[in-house]
Structure 1
Amino acid sequence: MRNRLPYLHTSSTVVMTLPDFPEEILLEIMQRCGDDDYRFLASFVVAGKRSNRLVYSSEILRTCNLTALCVERLDIILIMRGLRGHPFFERCLGQGNIQAAYFEALRLIIHCGDFEGGLNLMEPNVPDDGKTTLASAFFYCLLDEAGYLFQCFDAKHDHLVSDKARRIGQEIVREVGSFHPPYGGYFSYSFLFPPALMPECAYDHDPVHDPVCHTCFLYWVAHRVCAML
C-alpha cells in the first residue's frame, strides 16, 4: 500500500475493523492516537479507505507526534527521498506541524549551515511553542541579541530558572545531538549570551563534571548547543 506509514508493516500491525463511527468522532480518536505517537496511526491506514484518508488529513498531520521519526530514525536529516519516513514528514511540514518545522530547522542549521532558513521556519511558532522559542534563543546567541527570545519564554511559558526551562533545555541538547552535529565549535567566537541575563554564578560551576544550578543552566545549555555546530 503506497500510503503506508514509515516503518509500520502489516505483518506487525493489528488490522482492525472500524465500527461506523461518525467522521468527527473517528477523527478525534485518531488525533489522540497520533498526538501520542504517529506510529499509532498505522492500524488506521490499513483499516479502510475512510480511515486511510483521515490519517493524511490536515487535522492529523498538523498535530501528530513525530519524535519517533525525527529523533529515533533520523531519516529526515539525510534528506534521502527513497527513505520511507521522509514523504510522511514532508506532508506534516507542509501542513504546519510545529514539530516538523522544529526538526527541519535543526536539519537546515546543523547540516546545511542555513541559520536564516532554519530560524525563519521556527519564527511562526515563537513564542507559542516553548521548545521552539528556547531553541531559537540558543541559536541567536551566535547571530544577534537573543534576549528578546529568552524574555518571550519567561513571559509565555515559565521562568528561565524553572524546572520546565531546565527540562526543555535538556531535550534540545539531546535532539541537537541526535542530528549528529559536527562538534566543530566553528561559531564559538561569535557566541554572546544576553549581557542583561548573564548569571553571576556561571563560572562558579564546572559544567563538565558538576551539575549546574538552575540560575546558570540555560547559559551553559546555550553554550553547549552552539559549540556542537
Structure 2
Amino acid sequence: MVNERPCQLGKSGNFRNFFLKCVDAGNIVAVYYEGLHRATTLGVEEGINVLERNVPTHVLSTLAVGIFNVWLGKEMEAITVFQQLARNGVDLKSEALFEIGDELETRLLSFHAPFLNTYGRTLKFPRGDFLGHSNTVHEEELCKNCWLHWLCLKI
C-alpha cells in the first residue's frame, strides 16, 4: 500500500483511518511512515514527535530523528540518537549506513518532501568523540568518518 501510493495515507487518502489505527496501536512501520508524512507536511519537529516512539528499536526511524535533529541544530539530541543507533549495531562508519540513508531519502521523496537539504542555516553536525569527524567533506575523498555528515547534507 505505502510503497506504491504513499499519498493514500494523507488527510484525504483512502487508507487514512485504517492507517491511523495502526499508528495508535503502535505498529512500528505505520509510526515510521506517519512520522515521515508529518515531517514532510507539517515540519520535521512534528515528524520527530511521532518517530521518537520507534527510537531506538527501528533503525530507519532512529536515523531520521538523528538527521532531523542535525537539521534543526540540536546537536546534543543528535549525538544521543546517533549513539543509540550505534548501540543497536549500526556502524556509523560503514557503507551499510549509506544504504540505510538511501532508503530514508527514497521514502522521504515518495512523501513529496519539499526540496531536500533546506536547513542550511540551522544545520549543525555534532562534534563528538563517537565519530571523530573533522567537518570536512570532499565528494571524491569521502572518508568513513564523513559518511553520516554527508547523509545529513544529502537528504
- Give the 3-state SS of the residue equivalent to 1:199 in structure 2: coil
Deviation at 1:186, TM superposition (A): 4.0
In the alignment, the residues of structure 1 paired with residue 135 and residue 50 of structure 2 have an alpha-carbon distance, to the nearest angstrom, of 34
**1:1-229 → structure 2 map (5 Å cutoff):** 69-76=1-8, 78-80=10-12, 83-113=13-43, 115-143=44-72, 144-145=74-75, 146-183=78-115, 185-196=117-128, 197=131, 199-200=133-134, 202-206=136-140, 212-225=142-155
| Larger gyration radius, structure 1 or structure 2 | 1
Specify the code of the residue in structure 2 equivalent to 1:89.
F
> Are the aligned partners of 1:126 and 1:132 in contact in 2 as well (CA < 8 Å)?
yes
Distance of aligned partners of 1:160 and 1:186 in 2 relative to their CA distance in 1, 3 Å threshold: closer
> Are the aligned partners of 1:130 and 1:157 in contact in 2 as well (CA < 8 Å)?
no
Work out the percentage of aligned pairs sharing the same amino acid: 30
Under a length normalisation based on structure 2, what TM-score does the superposition of the two structures give? 0.83
Distance of aligned partners of 1:157 and 1:149 in 2 relative to their CA distance in 1, 3 Å threshold: same
Deviation at 1:185, TM superposition (A): 4.7
> Are the aligned partners of 1:198 and 1:219 in contact in 2 as well (CA < 8 Å)?
no
- Measured against aligned partners, the alpha-carbon deviations of 1:43-66 in whole angstroms (never above 9, x if no partner) come to xxxxxxxxxxxxxxxxxxxxxxxx
Deviation at 1:77, TM superposition (A): 5.2
- Measured against aligned partners, the alpha-carbon deviations of 1:124-161 in whole angstroms (never above 9, x if no partner) come to 22111111111100000022111111111111122101
Under a length normalisation based on structure 1, what TM-score does the superposition of the two structures give? 0.58
Specify the code of the residue in structure 1 equivalent to 2:103.
E
In the alignment, the residues of structure 2 paired with residue 184 and residue 174 of structure 1 have an alpha-carbon distance, to the nearest angstrom, of 11
- Give the 3-state SS of the residue equivalent to 1:187 in structure 2: coil
Q: Which has the higher contact order (CA 8 A, sep 6+)?
A: 2
- Measured against aligned partners, the alpha-carbon deviations of 1:174-202 in whole angstroms (never above 9, x if no partner) come to 11111111217542110011122363484
> Are the aligned partners of 1:105 and 1:122 in contact in 2 as well (CA < 8 Å)?
yes
Distance of aligned partners of 1:218 and 1:111 in 2 relative to their CA distance in 1, 3 Å threshold: same
Structure 1 residue ranges without an equivalent (≥5): 1-68
> Are the aligned partners of 1:158 and 1:165 in contact in 2 as well (CA < 8 Å)?
yes
